[in-house]
Structure 1
């Protein structure tokens, strides 16, 4: 089955007679990857594929409402530059409560909820958790675990702000201190808050692990930004009418003491 890009090549002879604006309109119906590849077809295609018509179609429909919520300077001469800036450099929204970026392949929206906005059990008790700055964090503060035996971290986001008809995954984004202990396996779950209770969700929780061996899906992975991420679960965002979705990590049964976890946030992004 030919890709959208191969189809463009196949129809190239017909496109030679088309105005550039028509070619741009057609390319805008493909994908960011196809648009980038089509630039190699011909000079006409390159010009058409660079147009704002194409790249604005790949930006979220409400990007003009989202971008002003950031203090970052977002004045770009073209929509293509804006698109790739949002893919490569997440911006902070709402005073640093959230970060926002785009998935480079699809243009779907990605959000990370800052640690300060998470529900962390005992998070306001300095003996258990400490709030510090971290040079590698996109947020002004991260949560550093001093010592707890009850680990429970929750992050919520409204489904209406996410890309529609999209499969999302939730990740705990973290690092370890040089010395850490007690951080082995834990349970994780993702639920629609209005549709499922805590108890119901806990009964179907997944087992994940900070360290050790096991299936790749239950172990942390290193990110391009130098942090680690642990997959907490996934959900399908249909029309954005399902209210809040919550991702949760918990280890509340064995009560072993834990130390040395640094939490940047929980990220919701498409896969």
Structure 2
């Protein structure tokens, strides 16, 4: 049977049957199917299909949103959650979906992170930025010891998914001391506080100016991850990754640490730490 005949035979199936089949594909496949013919469009855009692409707990997540979520179909809701991150739990947490996979992405705001000396006004300043999704960001005024922690329960994440954690930040023009290599890690910590899995990576918040005298002595060789600019104009640096298997393992602990070279640092603004699928 030719491909054309196979498509014709498929289109003769009841719409509910076609929707059921499309629900086992992917958001991308469903969008392609809806563009093939009017017969496919109705089936591929049905709530039955797009309900399967949404997280099983999406209703509970929407209920935690600080603002109402209005939608007329499950497909509209899906793309709303992809393109317009929700603020949850009083604005402490940001949530969105990965457009390609429907996997959950979260960002902890700076206030939900454990930042050493963050409540000491001479070291850190809490301020509002219009370009931030959160009410407050943390501005580094002056420290020599940088220690930032974040924590999230694995049960909140999508199952069978390899996640990466990213520190989301900005560097001010008059910044200083941020060329130093930092140690970053993403570790699984169980209730017993026993670390059962993790990695340590070298990262840079700002790329060292190679070949400029004194920095060659401080950073003799540059081996580590460098920051990248995001679509939302913030910068990010990958701290590490973790495969979330069954979602009941414990807590994911994310850390960025610079306590060795002890240069005085300033001009760093922290928005939060984001956990999203590695392929996103």
TM-score normalised by the chain length of structure 1:
0.92
Counterpart CA distance in 1 for 2:207 and 2:139 is: 22
* Aligned position for 2:10: 15
**Structure 2 counterparts to residues 59-138 of structure 1, below 5 A:** 59-138=54-133
Counterpart CA distance in 2 for 1:209 and 1:191 is: 19
User: CA 1:10–1:186 in structure 2 vs 1: closer, same or farther (change >3 Å)?
Assistant: farther
The alpha-carbon deviation at position 254 of structure 1 amounts to 1.1
Paired residues, what number?
260
The alpha-carbon deviation at position 13 of structure 1 amounts to 2.4
1:9–1:41 contact (8 Å) kept in structure 2: no
The alpha-carbon deviation at position 11 of structure 1 amounts to 4.1
The alpha-carbon deviation at position 186 of structure 1 amounts to 0.8
Counterpart CA distance in 1 for 2:11 and 2:86 is: 40
TM-score normalised by the chain length of structure 2:
0.89
User: CA 1:140–1:11 in structure 2 vs 1: closer, same or farther (change >3 Å)?
Assistant: farther
Instruction: From 19, 23, 39, give the equivalent of 1:44.
Output: 39
Q: Structure 2 unaligned runs (5+)?
A: 209-221
Counterpart CA distance in 1 for 2:11 and 2:74 is: 25
SS of the residue 1:66 aligns to: helix
Decide which structure has the larger Cα Rg and report it. 2
After superposing on structure 2, the runs of 4+ consecutive aligned residues of structure 1 that deviate more than 6 Å are none
The alpha-carbon deviation at position 42 of structure 1 amounts to 1.1
The alpha-carbon deviation at position 39 of structure 1 amounts to 1.2
Counterpart CA distance in 2 for 1:211 and 1:262 is: 13
Counterpart CA distance in 1 for 2:157 and 2:186 is: 15
* Aligned position for 2:157: 162
Q: CA RMSD in A?
A: 1.9
Instruction: From 133, 139, 142, give the equivalent of 1:144.
Output: 139
User: CA 1:254–1:34 in structure 2 vs 1: closer, same or farther (change >3 Å)?
Assistant: same
Instruction: From 265, 268, 273, give the equivalent of 1:258.
Output: 265
- 2:178 aligned with 1:178, yes or no? no
